[in-house]
Amino acid sequence: AQKITQTQPGMFVQEKEAVTLDCTYDTSDPSYGLFWYKQPSSGEMIFLIYQGSYDQQNATEGRYSLNFQKARKSANLVISASQLGDSAMYFCAMREGRNTDKLIFGTGTRLQVFP
Amino acid sequence: GAVVSQHPSRVICKSGTSVKIECRSLDFQATTMFWYRQFPKKSLMLMATSNEGSKATYEQGVEKDKFLINHASLTLSTLTVTSAHPEDSSFYICSGRDSLGNTIYFGEGSWLTVV
């Protein structure tokens, strides 16, 4: 079974609008961490936001926020006020367990922001 | 924030030769680093865990004699693709975590083309 599922292969959003990128995960470990990364065409993986399984509040980093719904096992990324430079691939990833930094990645969502 | 630097960013080599990719943590010490591989338009797949001062741990299906990993210091891990073949052409990227935080940072990645 997929550990990390990103069901949206591609998304379009107009500049200045908000967009939500979906991510669901599957784990039986009570301790885990969820990450979102942005990958532009250059290939680098840019860290955006992190949510720990025990964090009480949803993580926010500037225009990025994570809609963490633990019971649903979802960790959707919300990008507010989209910019043209936000066009890229976005990957959701999970660190499963307390003592590892291995990441399991979803298949990614390609976001295109249009004027 | 923590920075991971990877070199070279692009390399072309002939079939049968070996190529070394370096991954450095610039402002933190990493006892563990990770090497991933990404095929075009695909997600990242973990290849191996690089352990400082000891042998790397390889994921199932990854040939340890082909992908040699050395982690001789707390700030440098290297991946050597030995006897490279065209099917080894891929994007290779490393990651590491600053032990003081939760963020896992990635290098810029290395595009390998074997001709």
Q: What is the pLDDT of residue B97?
A: 84
Instruction: Give percent of chain A above pLDDT 90.
Output: 92
Preferred mutation among A23, A35, A44 to probe B, highest tally of B CBs within 10 A: A44
Has residue B2 got a pLDDT over 70? Answer: no
For the residues B22-46, what does the mean pLDDT come to?
Answer: 92
State pLDDT tens for residues A62-92: 999 999 999 999 999 999 999 999 999 999 9
Minimal Cα–Cα distance from A6 to chain B, Å?
Answer: 11
Contact B46 A107 (CB under 8 A): no
Write out residues in chain A with pLDDT < 70, as ranges: 1
Which DSSP letter does residue B17 get? Answer: -
Q: What are phi and psi of A84, to 5 degrees?
A: -55, -35
Contact A43 B109 (CB under 8 A): yes
Distance CA B2, CA A10 (A): 30
Contact A45 B111 (CB under 8 A): no
Q: What is the mean pLDDT of chain A?
A: 95
Encoded tokens for A26? 């599957």
Confirm if A6 and A107 have CB atoms less than 8 A apart.
yes
Burial B22-50 (b: 16+ CB within 10 A, else e): bbbbeebebebbbbbbbeeeebbebbbbb
State pLDDT tens for residues B12-29: 999 999 999 999 999 888
Confirm if B21 and B6 have CB atoms less than 8 A apart.
yes
Has residue B59 got a pLDDT over 70? Answer: yes
Closest residue by Cα to residue A31 from A102, A101, A97: A97
Has residue B115 got a pLDDT over 90? Answer: yes
Has residue B1 got a pLDDT over 70? Answer: no
3-state secondary structure of B86: helix
Closest residue by Cα to residue A94 from A25, A37, A28, A43: A25
Minimal Cα–Cα distance from A90 to chain B, Å?
Answer: 10
Has residue B100 got a pLDDT over 90? Answer: no
Q: What is the pLDDT of residue B41?
A: 86
* Type of residue at B75: T
Distance CA A27, CA A47 (A): 22
Could you give the angle at the alpha carbon of A94 between the alpha carbons of A10 and B108, nearest 5°?
A: 70
Torsion of the alpha carbons at A68, A71, A72 and A76, rounded to the nearest 10: 0
